[in-house]
Amino acid sequence: MNNYKAHTSEIIFKLSLQIHQIDRIFINQPCHSLSRCLNCRKAAYETNSFNWRKAVIGRLNHVAIAVPDLESASAQYRDTLGAKVNSPQDEPDHGVTVVFIELPNTKIELLQPLGENSPIQGFLDKNPSGGIHHICYEVDDILAARDTLKASGARILGTGDPKIGAHGKPVLFLHPKDFTGTLIELEQL
d(CA 73, CA 42): 44
To the query of whether residue 185 is one of the catalytic residues in this protein, the response is yes
Q: What angle do CA 164, 169, 170 make, to 5 degrees?
A: 55
- CB neighbour class for 9 (10 Å; exposed up to 12, middle 13-18, buried from 19): exposed
Do the strands 107-113 and 60-66 form a parallel or antiparallel pair, or are they unpaired?
A: parallel
Catalytic, out of 46, 102, 138, 185: 185
Contact 150, 50 (CB under 8 A): no
Q: Which residues does the annotation mark as catalytic?
A: 185
